Structure 1
Amino acid sequence: MTGRATFRTGDVDEARREIAARFYANFMDVIEARGRPFAARFETVGLGSVVVGDMRCGADVRMRFAELGAYHVNVPLSGRLELRQGTAAVTATAERGVVLDPAGQVVVDRWAGDCRVLAVKVDPAALRRRLEELLGRAPRGPLVLGRDLDVARGHGRDWARLVRRVAREAADPQGLAQHPLVARPLEDALLTGLLLTTGHRYRDELTRPARPLRPAPVKRVMDAVRERPEHPFTVTELAALARVSPRRLQESFRAHVGMTPMEYVRDVRLARTRAELCAAEPGAGVTVSEVAWRWGFTHLGRFAARYRERFGETPSQTLNGRPAPGC
């Protein structure tokens, strides 16, 4: 989603449809008015893979969602938001935001009428790609984010402030955030900030003191592979891109990346394949073989074995079943 939208309504069904259009399909009903009429006010802005909303309903409401298919963060600016995902019940407040996983049904038991919430939807594939860029390698296994988000101090507070500044742009049709030269860096900042703010298995690696920069030959190869992972690279071709000998490239990759150049190619391909399988719509006719072929895997047996070793499930389970969390 890109662009901005301003929405006002006193009709619950209209509000439900707007949330479905900007975020997720849902069921909504008013719990009790308490003398306050239902009066939804939504300001949303899309920055590529991220959607930010400044949202309130006026009256207390209850909502239900199926699996979101995206990471979602709720940060109340006022009031309380009581919700559940699976068996975990949490209450989001102005001091404590909540992070929801792409998998697992969500029930909002009470969105208080006085609760104004910053809602952030994040595409899982984009977040994983951003993590890959920051690590300099394809991450292994699912990306599971911690549920609690401290927005009263530290990185969490700073990230929430950035989200609020972006949300303000939704009310301004001439806002600078709509300019392509600004929107992309803002999108990257929101993705990076979320990775630095929430708990997950790679956070320590991201926050530890910066390692020495990788040598230019290694960086040239990594950039080329991430740009075209489906290309049938060979060690000789990669060495030519790096402008060093194949042996020197192998040694540099082992020293600075922890794997050989061709292992790195395979890792990036596996990550891109999984992202496409996760994003495939049910019934769309997508097959594992066509996705694997598109990303450069010509031997399906070896591909399937490496995929299962990497992600703990078969490609078909990702496509047709219930993929691991963080897909």
Structure 2
Amino acid sequence: MLKRHFYALDVEVLRPAPGWAARFAVGGTDTVTLGDLEFGVDVRIRAGELGAYHVNLPLTGAMHWHQGRDEPQQALAGKTAAVYQPVGDTVVDQWDGDCRLLAVKIGRAELETQLEAMLDRPVRGPIDLGPMLDVSSGPGASWARLVRLVTGDAVHPDGLTAHPVIGARMREALVTGLLLATDHRHRGSLDRHTPALAAPGAIRRVVEAMRAQPGRPFTVADLAGIAGVGARALQQSFARYVGMPPMTYLRQLRLALVHDGLRAADPGETTVAQVAYRYGFTHLGRFAAAYRERYAISPSETLRK
């Protein structure tokens, strides 16, 4: 399982224990893979060059590791997480038997493209993320909570992260959050960056794309790509020219289309869920609340009228 979803590993059991059993649960996609992993016995692992960015977040116990010629490091539950680069031979010198961890593998192109979108300019990789992430407080702790939430859903067979809309947004949040939580040479630029606004024509293209495919699972990154700007520039440009963030505009557009669709539908042949799903709403409870807030009536009442 680990070879199929993560890397080809050379695993050595350091101190065999009677009755020990490993436990692995894995989910996600080819670009962002998530795992809840536990060996149940002390092991040493050689992984070679990873070819991807990777974070190990211990939930219990500790692990000792090094990459390339760097000094050995320790990742400790509740304190620190291990951050690996795409290049450099990777060795886990000891993964303690009581160490259960969450593993986050992010494709190199996925992370570097996201950083380019955030900076509104090309970057030359690899990014050289800091090898240790403080998860006891601040942005690191916030990112660790997000990892627990998304991984818990991703490894579940019925998790919402498998849905193209929700999953894409969660994965984007994980990648963006890591770039804002870890140390790297572009961190200061991210904190100081004020992007140039997109031209009105670019915003018009985004609006036209939303109207042409209102049910498409757009993310902010998708819309920024249509506009030809970064995500932050898109957000600020939409606020200036449209008066609201792009995802708020998309939600309002979808609500209006559902409203018109329900009014025109035959209640004997159509359900609220069918119309809502058609226009990109995947969580019916949240959809119904937003619909009632806007129209002061429930979707089902609109359908019956």
Q: TM-score, normalised by structure 1?
A: 0.59
Contact in 1 for aligned 2:85/2:126 (Cα 8 Å): no
Verify: 1:60 aligned to 2:42, yes or no: yes
CA distance in 1, matches of 2:30, 2:203: 26
Question: Once superposed, what is the RMSD of the aligned Cα atoms?
Answer: 2.5
Deviation at 1:165, TM superposition (A): 0.9
Partner in structure 2 of residue 159 of structure 1:
143
Amino acid at match of 2:52: A
Contact in 2 for aligned 1:47/1:183 (Cα 8 Å): no
Partner in structure 2 of residue 20 of structure 1:
3
CA distance in 1, matches of 2:43, 2:6: 17
Verify: 1:75 aligned to 2:50, yes or no: no
Q: State the secondary structure of the residue aligned to 1:102.
A: coil
Deviation at 1:73, TM superposition (A): 0.6
Partner in structure 2 of residue 31 of structure 1:
14
Q: Structure 1 residues 141 and 178 mapped into 2: Cα distance closer, same or farther (>3 Å)?
A: closer
Structure 1, unaligned stretches of length 5 or more?
1-17, 223-240, 243-255, 257-327
Partner in structure 2 of residue 133 of structure 1:
117
Q: Structure 1 residues 212 and 135 mapped into 2: Cα distance closer, same or farther (>3 Å)?
A: same
Amino acid at match of 1:41: R
Contact in 2 for aligned 1:47/1:186 (Cα 8 Å): no
Of 90, 94, 115, the residue aligned with 2:73 is 90
Q: State the secondary structure of the residue aligned to 1:119.
A: strand
Amino acid at match of 2:14: I
Partner in structure 2 of residue 99 of structure 1:
83
- Superposed, 1:102-113 pairs within 5 Å as 102-113=86-97
**Deviation per CA, 1:64-91, whole angstroms, max 9, x where unpaired?**
1111111111110010111111122111
Amino acid at match of 2:45: M
CA distance in 1, matches of 2:120, 2:140: 24
CA distance in 2, matches of 1:114, 1:30: 14
Verify: 1:196 aligned to 2:180, yes or no: yes
Contact in 1 for aligned 2:15/2:42 (Cα 8 Å): yes
CA distance in 1, matches of 2:64, 2:186: 29
- Superposed, 1:135-150 pairs within 5 Å as 135-140=119-124, 142-150=126-134
- Superposed, 1:225-240 pairs within 5 Å as none
Task: State how many pairs are aligned.
Answer: 208
Structure 2, unaligned stretches of length 5 or more?
207-225, 228-232, 234-305
CA distance in 1, matches of 2:41, 2:125: 42
CA distance in 2, matches of 1:196, 1:220: 30
Of 118, 122, 125, the residue aligned with 2:102 is 118
- Superposed, 1:295-310 pairs within 5 Å as none
Q: Structure 1 residues 62 and 191 mapped into 2: Cα distance closer, same or farther (>3 Å)?
A: same
Deviation at 1:209, TM superposition (A): 6.4
CA distance in 1, matches of 2:91, 2:204: 47
Q: State the secondary structure of the residue aligned to 1:78.
A: coil
Deviation at 1:218, TM superposition (A): 6.7
CA distance in 2, matches of 1:135, 1:71: 19
CA distance in 2, matches of 1:184, 1:31: 39
Partner in structure 2 of residue 46 of structure 1:
28
Q: TM-score, normalised by structure 2?
A: 0.63
